[in-house]
Amino acid sequence: MNVPITQLAVGLLPVGVFLGGLVYLDSYKLVTLRATLIAIAVGCAAALVALAANTALLDSTEISASIFSRYVAPVLEECLKAVYLAYLLQKKRIGFMVDAAICGFAIGAGFSMVENLYYLQTVDTGNLLIWIIRGFGTALMHGGTTAVVGVLGRSLQDRFPERLLYTFLPGLGVAILIHSVFNHFFLSPVLSTFLTLCGLPLVMYLVFRYSEQSTREWLGVGFDTDQALLQMLTSGVLLENKVGQYLASLQDRFPGEVVADLLCLLRIHVELSINAKGLLLMREAGFEPGPDPEVRAKLTELQFLHKSVGKTGLLALHPFMHTSSRSLWELHMLAQT
C-alpha cells in the first residue's frame, strides 16, 4: 500500500514538532539528546508490544472492539509506556518536572509514531481528516498522558522517596483515566482533537513555568548551603556550630582513618553538588562546557569512598549527604557530561 506523503506528515510530524518544542524550551538542558532518543525508542518498543498484546487479547476473548478500546487498551498501553518512567524514577534519573515531562512525552511520541505507521499501512482511507485527528489528537494524547505520569511521579518523589508505588500509581491512574475518556468519544473526534491541541500546550507551559521557578529557588538555596558546608570543611574549624560539633563527634565513634574518609567523602560530595549547579547555570546562559577530567576523578573517588566507609559511615553522614532523589540525579548528570 502506497501511503501519500501528506497523510504520513500529518500522522507523524505534530507529535515530533511538539517534542522538539519542549526540548527547546528546556533552558537548563536537563534532558540530553541521547536520553530523548532512548525514550523515543522505548516508546516505539512499547507500541510494538501493545499491538501484539491487543491483537492477541481481541482474538482470544469475546470482548467487543469498543469495550476493549475504552477499558482494556488504555490500561495496557499506559502501563507499557510507563514502565521506563518507573525505572527512571526508581534510579533517580529524573531531577525536575521538566525532564519528567520531556521523557514522558518522548516515550508517548515514539509509541504514537509506531501506532500511526501501523494504521497508515492497514487502514485504507484517503480521508485526510482521519489523519489530522490521529496526528493532532491521538498522538498528542499518547505523549501527554505519559508526560502526566512523569510529572506527577516526580512531584511526589520527594514526599515518598522510598515508596515507588506511592510515587508512581497516582499519575498512572490519571493517565489511564484520560486515555479511557478520550476513547469514549463523549465529544466528537474533531472537538476532542481541538481540546487536546489547545489544552496540552497550556498544561506543559504551566509545568515548565513552575518547574523552572522551583529550579531557580533550589539553585539559590543549594548553592548557599553547599558553599557554607564546604567552607567549614576546608577551613578545619568544626566546633563553631552544631553541624561542626556533630562532625567532630564522629571521632569518638569511628577510627581515625574512617573519620578522615568520611570527611573526605562529604567534601567531594559537596564539591560535586556545586559543580552540578554551576553546570545548570552555564546551560541556562547558553554555554555547554565540555567534559571535566577533575569531575570524573571526583566521581571515581566518591565511589571508592562509599565502599570504604560502608553503610554505617554513610548513615552517619546522612544528614549532610543530600541523598534525596535530586542530589542523586546531580551525580548522574555529571557522570553523563
Please report, in tens digits, the pLDDT of each residue of the chain (337 residues total). 455 777 778 888 899 999 999 988 887 788 889 999 999 999 999 999 999 999 999 999 989 999 999 999 999 999 999 999 999 998 888 888 889 999 999 999 999 999 998 988 887 666 788 888 888 889 999 999 999 999 999 988 878 877 878 888 999 999 999 999 999 988 888 888 888 888 998 989 888 888 877 777 766 666 667 777 777 777 766 555 566 667 777 777 778 788 888 888 888 888 888 888 888 878 877 777 777 788 888 888 888 888 888 877 777 776 666 545 667 677 777 877 6
Burial 276-306 (b: 16+ CB within 10 A, else e): bbebbeebbeeeeeeeeeebeebeeebeebe
State the pTM of this model.
0.78
Residue 256 to residue 54: CA distance in whole angstroms: 62
CA 34 to chain centroid: 13
Q: What is the dihedral of CA 306, 307, 313, 315, to 10 degrees?
A: 60
Q: pLDDT value at position 222?
A: 66
Residue 26 to residue 212: CA distance in whole angstroms: 9
Residue 3, classed as helix, strand or coil, is: coil
**Do the beta carbons of residue 224 and residue 275 sit within 8 Å?**
no
Burial class (CB in 10 A: 0-12, 13-18, 19+), 72: middle
Q: In 3D, which of 100, 69, 105, 82 has the Cα closest to residue 179?
A: 69
Q: Which single residue is written with the C-alpha cell 525505572?
A: 87
Query: Phi and psi at residue 96, in whole multiples of 5°?
Result: -140, 170
Q: pLDDT value at position 325?
A: 62
Burial class (CB in 10 A: 0-12, 13-18, 19+), 56: exposed
Largest distance between two CA atoms of the chain = 80
Please, what is the Cα angle at 180 between 52 and 209, to 5 degrees? 105
